[in-house]
Amino acid sequence: MAEELRERASSFVNNHVDLWVTVDDDGTLALAANDATALLRAAADWLSEDPDRTVADVRWECRATEPTHTMRLTLRDLGAGTVPPQERGQQPVHSHPRH
């Protein structure tokens, strides 16, 4: 998956000004920018252009040097199974209904 994402990243970055895009060897997509709003829009664009994949994990990083915001997305094919958060050592997030 990493090589396929890298090929896509090279053309994707041409349509998004001031965006850094890298793909780690494990297939994690890293999008980075100085503008958090532009970064979130770029992530939404990426996901909408690739309907066969979904986000399995997301990490957000902030720092004082450029690029100041980084979003790391671990993607998976929609047909692939998921591992419940508890089995990865994480606690599940529960939502509470509003009254």
The answer, yes or no, to whether residue 88 has pLDDT greater than 50, is no
Residue 79: predicted pLDDT? 75
Please state, in angstroms and rounded to a whole number, the distance separating the CA atoms of residues 12 and 69.
Answer: 18
Burial pattern 61-81, b for ≥16 Cβ within 10 A else e, equals eeeeeebebbbbbebbeeeee
Assign domain 2-77 to a CATH class.
alpha beta
Query: Rounded to 5, what percent of the chain is helix, strand, coil?
Result: 30, 30, 40
Kindly tell me if the per-residue pLDDT of 60 is higher than 80.
yes
Q: For residue range 13-56, what is the model confidence (pLDDT) as tens digits?
A: 888 889 999 999 998 999 999 999 999 999 999 999 988 899 99
Contact 56, 76 (CB under 8 A): yes
Q: What pLDDT, on the 0 to 100 scale, is given for residue 66?
A: 96
Top pLDDT among 88 and 23 is at 23
- Residue 5 structure tokens: 């994402």
Using a cut of 0.85, tell me whether the model's pTM lies above it: no
